[in-house]
Amino acid sequence: MIHLPVMVEEAIEYLNVQKGKWYVDCTLGAGGHSLEILKRGGKVLGIDQDEEVLDLAKKSLSDYHKRIVFEKRNFIEVGEVIKKHKIKKVFGALYDLGLSSYQIEKDARGFSFQREGPLDMRMDLSKTTKCADIINRGREEELARILKEYGEERMSRRIAREIVKNRPIRTTTGLASLVARAIGKRGKIHPATRTFQALRIAVNDELSALTESLDSIFPHLASYGRIVVISFHSLEDRIVKRKFKQWQKEEVFKILTKKPLRPTPEEIEENPRARSAKFRGGEKV
């Protein structure tokens, strides 16, 4: 399935794209946002830690090869990558967090509880720790901590206990049904939603990567350079909100979105993946 970029019009408006200036797309994915930057004459440094996804973007953006460079990296290293390409100042940085449709829908990557696959969940396939290592080898208390901290899961202890009792667990669907049996159905979301979110965050160390990346990119932003972050759960949004506030207090940054922007109902109808998106933007001063 093609990945539909989320809040793309808002991203382009807030990035204030100008011809000939550099923009860093820290989460290149299928390249939907970068394509719009390139169409407006911007130059793009496109980063993604997932080699398979990066290859797709290289193909889909090949018409613009003169104005885009690609890097298979974790965005934690964004500062280094900017230096490597001898880019003096960037005029905008975009983070569209989470997964691309390609990753979610490829069973073998093990991200989705609705598709049978191995317990993997690595965005960077060169990393050694997979979800299965945490599930089948981690201590019960450590599992419970991960589920509570990264999934805000109230039943973390009960789930951790059931996991340990039923090890080894081999598949995504096996884990999802175990969680469903352990805690039953609650509300509208699938009972395994929070467990899967927590494990993915742990496998990819997503929260510290975001915090460190924001600090790493800031010195490379030009005056009036913009940062836009689209996040999909409250833990990420909290990190962005706090960082933006801290910079504003230090009088080096101006928050442009007092409250996070949300996708329009029309966009959510067309692209349900957008429904939990929160969009924050700001400018270096």
Q: Print the binding letters for residues 81-120 with ligand SAM: x by CB under 6 A, - otherwise.
A: ---------------x-xxx--------------------
Q: Print the binding letters for residues 260-279 with ligand SAM: x by CB under 6 A, - otherwise.
A: --------------------
Q: Is 29 in the site for ligand SAM (CB under 6 A)?
A: yes
Binding part of the chain for ligand SAM, among 23-31, 165-173, 188-196, 250-258 by CB under 6 A, reads: 23-31
Please give the Cα distance from 284 to 129 (Å, whole number).
37
* Closer residue to ligand SAM (CB): 47 or 179: 47
CB of 3 to ligand SAM, least distance (A): 5
CB of 68 to ligand SAM, least distance (A): 13
* Closer residue to ligand SAM (CB): 26 or 155: 26
Please give the Cα distance from 69 to 24 (Å, whole number).
10
Characterise 268 by phi-psi region: left (phi > 0), alpha (psi -120 to 50), beta (else): alpha
CB of 244 to ligand SAM, least distance (A): 19
* Contacts (CB under 6 A) with ligand SAM, residues 171-230: 209
Residue from 22, 23, 75, 113 touching ligand SAM (CB under 6 A): that is: 75
Please give the Cα distance from 122 to 134 (Å, whole number).
12
Q: Is 282 in the site for ligand SAM (CB under 6 A)?
A: no
Residue from 15, 53, 198, 221 touching ligand SAM (CB under 6 A): that is: 53
Residues that bind ligand SAM (CB under 6 A): 3, 5, 27, 29-33, 47-50, 53, 74-75, 96, 98-100, 123, 209
